[in-house]
Amino acid sequence: MSTLVKVARYHMVQPYQYLALTWGILAFTFVVNLVIFGLVPVSHPAAATANGLASAAGTDGRYTGALSCFFIFFLVFGVQSIGKSLPFGLALGVSRRSYYAGTALLAVALAFADGLVLTGLQAIERATNGWGVHMSFFRVVYLLDGPWYLTWLTSSVGLALLFIYGMWFGIVYRRWSLAGTVAFIAAQVTVLLAAALVVTWAHGWTGVGHFFTGLTAAGLTGLLAVLALALLAGGHATIRRATV
C-alpha cells in the first residue's frame, strides 16, 4: 500500500464525520424539506413563471438550497484534515509532501464518490417528479441541471475544490495562526479587488459579462477545476514548512 493511500485511509480510520455525519445531516434536511414541500401546495403556473430562472431551466422551480450545506461540509473537512489530523500524521513518520498528496487524494476520491451518489439521487428526483412533491433538492438551476455525467463532474469538481480550499486554510492557520488566516483572507479579497479595478480601468466589464453569460455549466466546471489545481499548488507550497 503506497503512503498516499495510507494517508487517505488514515483520514477515514473512523469515517464518522466523512460519511455518517454528512449523509445523516443531508438525509435529515431532505426529510424536513420533503415534509414542508408536501404541506405547501404547488404554486400556480403564473407564480412559477415569476420565478423566471427556474422555469427557464425546466425544473419544478421549487428549490430548497439545502444541498449547499453538503458542499460547505467539504470546506470544513479540508480545514480539519490539516488542522486536526496533521500532527498525528507527521508523528507516524509521514512527510508533509505525502501527507498533503494523500489528503488531496482523499479529497478527490471522496468528492467523486459523493458526487456520484448525488447524481444518482438527482436521477431519482427526476424520475419521481421531484419526490412526488415537485421539489428540486438535488437539482440546482444552471449548475446541476444537465445530463447525469455533467452533474457528476460538476458536483465532484465543486466538492473537491472546496475540500482543497479548506486544506489551504488549515495549513495557513497551522503556520501563522489567526493573524495569518485573517491576512490570507485579506490577500484574497485584495486580489479580487485588484482584478475588479483592472477590469474597470480597462472598461472590460462588458466583456466579462459576456464571458460569464456565455459560460456553460461544463465551461464553469472546467474553470473550477483549474482553480482547484491552482489552490492545490498553493497549499502544497505552504505546507512544505509547516511545523507541528
Partner 1 sequence: MTSAISVAGLTRRYRDQVALDDVSLEIEAGSITGLLGRNGAGKTTLLRILAGQEFPSSGSVNVLGAPPAENEQVLRRMMFVREDQAYPDIRVGAALRAASWFYPNWDAGLADSLMADFDLRPTKAIKRLSRGMRSALGIVIGLAARAEVTLFDEPYAGLDAVARQVFYDRLLADYAERPRTILLSTHLIDEAAALFETVVVIDRGRVVLEAAADSLRGVATTVSGPVLAVDEFTAGRTVWNRRRLGAQASVVTVGQLDEASRARARSLGLDLVPLTLQQLVVHADGWPAAPEAANLEGVGA
Residues that bind partner 1 in the complex, under the rule CB under 8 A: 1, 3, 6, 9-10, 13-14, 17, 80, 84-85, 87-88, 90-98, 240-241, 243-244
Nearer to partner 1 by Cβ, of 56 and 244: the residue is 244
CA 130 centroid distance within chain: 23
Cell numbers 500532527: residue: 87
Considering beta carbons, is residue 12 or 218 the nearer one to partner 1?
12
Q: Which is nearer to partner 1, 55 or 85 (CB)?
A: 85
Neighbours of 106 (CB within 10 A): 24
In whole angstroms, the minimum distance from the beta carbon of 26 to partner 1 comes to 20
| DSSP secondary structure, 8-19, as one string | HHHHTSSTIIII
Shortest distance (Å) from residue 73 CB to partner 1: 15
- In the complex, minimum distance from the CB of residue 5 to partner 1, in angstroms, rounded to a whole number: 9
Question: Bridge partners of 163?
Answer: none
Instruction: Give the three-class secondary structure for 136.
Output: strand
Comparison of 21 and 220: residue with beta carbon closer to partner 1:
21
How near is the Cβ of 162 to partner 1 at its closest, in Å? 20
CA distance 75 to 176: 19
Q: Are 101 and 4 in contact (CB under 8 A)?
A: yes
